[in-house]
Structure 1
Amino acid sequence: MKKRFKGVLTWGLCIVQTLIILGGSAGCAARTDGAARQEQPASNETRQEQLPASQVQSETQAQNTEKTAPNAGGQISLDDAKTAALTDAGVMASDVRYTKEKLDYEDGIAVYELEFYAGNAEYEYEINAETGAVYSKDIDVHQVKTEHGHYGGSEQNDIGAEQAKSIALAQAGFAEAEVTLLQCEFDVDDGQTVYEVEFIKDGRQYEYKISALDGSILSYEMD
């Protein structure tokens, strides 16, 4: 009888231990599942925090694209550029023969490059494609020798450096006090005596070639 009771007691203890073990496993599983559920919102919060950052990056890229995209429709036409050049040169369109018409970029600025002849002068212009302003120009006057062997007329005395500077400044529309680094040098160009006048105004350099015989402007350039 005692042995039977002892066996039943032992069997009962085994059942209790088994239930305790099973209960502990279930509790661990419940706690693990609860922890996972608690961590999941944090993961969702992380994704929610990353989403605005992605949107900000996309918006930044879009803004950069807008800044670097060309200003479509903001440029003047080729005809407008021609009009600006001819107006500055003081010549009529009917007297002009074009040798170059091209849209190009100069130091990142869109410009129309125009080259043309009018009379005995050769013109080279760069017109700002956005504003229509003269970006740079170069004008060469090709003079013909006379029967006296001189260019541009009869024999005359040398006009002198001061007169050459005055002619260049008057053509540019500046007083001598308004310019800097004013220089004037006597030279012989293709057998012709000339004065080369250079000066700077508002950061732009002006170069002139003045005939030493009669004071005519043989060429000038603004850059």
Structure 2
Amino acid sequence: MKQKWLLTGTALMLAAALAGCGNTPAADQTAKISMEQAQTAALDAANIEAADADISSATLSEVAGITCYKVEFTSGDYTYAYSINAESGEVLEASYRDKNAAPADSTQTDTTASGVTTTPAQTTPNTNISTGAVDEAKAQEIALAHAGVNAADATITKSKLDYDDGRQIYELEWYANGAKYDYEIAVATGEIVNSGYEAKTVVGTGNSATVSEATAKQTALARVSGATEKDIYEWKLDYDDGRPEYEGKIIYGGTEYEFTIDTVSGNVTEWEAETLNR
């Protein structure tokens, strides 16, 4: 298996500096969390129980003015390395690789005092290989079925692997029936992490709503099985280029739905769903 690396949080701006975290002597550290808390934060981020992990090293260092812990451990077939902000406990950098895999190819090498040459770890997220149970074709099938779109009617413009909050996902984008669809599918489970679409709106000539608020609300609620008006948390009449539209939000069943309804045609022109507390 190839190495896979994931940068999160503020590490996107500090990745180059943090790559050496733990290897530079630290002076006058002012850590607000303990080494044990840093180890716990790393294990929690990796979703690994302490009993299942073998921590090989944990060091405190200061790089680019950031005090951090470098926590390295193995679990199962993988080796993990985490950089934890020593003040906030935030995960600044995270990586994992197959512990039996050879280091990734690189044009840069470092030589230790013993004369042994080592290859620096890859620092670019590898999103070309799926490590889960859902392949790209299945992800597309799940998204299209959820959207109620036939594959023959869809023009897919983006289909790629990426990461979201530490888990691998497929990012999908396509056009069909005059609308643009965006979906994120979890590789490991096939869960729909995010979904949304934006429909083309035919410009009208009037500025007054012809579809009542009550009718528009029922149109939105009909898309969320089991939801009622008490699950509508936001609702307003707004204007887009002089054309009236309803904007609202429904929270039901652990999912947040945001939508726009054209007040002239009564059609849903924008719809986005996002899973909460994941």
Cα distance between partner residues in 2 of 1:177 and 1:165: 8
Cα distance between partner residues in 2 of 1:76 and 1:92: 20
Pick closer, same or farther for the CA change 1:195–1:57 going to 2, 3 Å. Answer: closer
Residue 104, structure 1, aligned to residue 154, structure 2: no
Residue 189, structure 1, aligned to residue 240, structure 2: yes
Question: What SS does the corresponding residue of 1:86 show, helix, strand or coil?
Answer: helix
What is the aligned partner in structure 1 of residue 211 from structure 2?
159
Contact 2:173 2:180 in 1 (8 A): yes
User: Offset at 1:75?
Assistant: 3.1
What is the aligned partner in structure 1 of residue 15 from structure 2?
none
User: Offset at 1:65?
Assistant: 5.8
Pick closer, same or farther for the CA change 1:57–1:108 going to 2, 3 Å. Answer: closer
Contact 1:115 1:122 in 2 (8 A): yes
Question: What SS does the corresponding residue of 1:172 show, helix, strand or coil?
Answer: coil
Using structure 1 for the length normalisation, give the TM-score: 0.62
Which of structures 1 and 2 has the bigger CA Rg?
A: 1
Contact 2:227 2:252 in 1 (8 A): no
Q: Which has the higher strand share?
A: 2
What is the aligned partner in structure 2 of residue 168 from structure 1?
220
What is the aligned partner in structure 2 of residue 29 from structure 1?
none
User: Offset at 1:70?
Assistant: 6.8
Residue 201, structure 1, aligned to residue 252, structure 2: yes
Question: What SS does the corresponding residue of 1:214 show, helix, strand or coil?
Answer: coil
Computed over aligned residues only, the root mean square deviation of the Cα atoms, in angstroms, reads 2.9
What residue ranges of structure 1 are gaps of 5+ in the alignment? 1-55
Contact 1:164 1:197 in 2 (8 A): no
Question: What SS does the corresponding residue of 1:87 show, helix, strand or coil?
Answer: helix
Match of 2:176 among 90, 114, 118: 118
Cα distance between partner residues in 2 of 1:118 and 1:81: 17
In the TM superposition, 1:2-41 aligns within 5 A as none
Cα distance between partner residues in 2 of 1:135 and 1:57: 32
Contact 2:180 2:198 in 1 (8 A): yes
Cα distance between partner residues in 1 of 2:144 and 2:270: 16
What is the aligned partner in structure 1 of residue 75 from structure 2?
63
Instruction: Provide the aligned length of Structure 1 versus Structure 2.
Output: 160
User: Offset at 1:199?
Assistant: 2.1
User: Offset at 1:217?
Assistant: 0.7
Cα distance between partner residues in 1 of 2:217 and 2:196: 18
Question: What SS does the corresponding residue of 1:144 show, helix, strand or coil?
Answer: coil
Cα distance between partner residues in 2 of 1:133 and 1:77: 13
Contact 1:156 1:214 in 2 (8 A): no
Contact 1:102 1:114 in 2 (8 A): yes
Q: Which has the higher helix share?
A: 1
Cα distance between partner residues in 2 of 1:99 and 1:63: 38
Pick closer, same or farther for the CA change 1:57–1:132 going to 2, 3 Å. Answer: closer
Contact 2:233 2:251 in 1 (8 A): yes
Question: What SS does the corresponding residue of 1:171 show, helix, strand or coil?
Answer: coil
Pick closer, same or farther for the CA change 1:138–1:79 going to 2, 3 Å. Answer: same
Question: What SS does the corresponding residue of 1:220 show, helix, strand or coil?
Answer: strand
Pick closer, same or farther for the CA change 1:57–1:216 going to 2, 3 Å. Answer: closer
Pick closer, same or farther for the CA change 1:85–1:108 going to 2, 3 Å. Answer: same
Pick closer, same or farther for the CA change 1:57–1:209 going to 2, 3 Å. Answer: closer
Cα distance between partner residues in 1 of 2:194 and 2:185: 7
Using structure 2 for the length normalisation, give the TM-score: 0.51
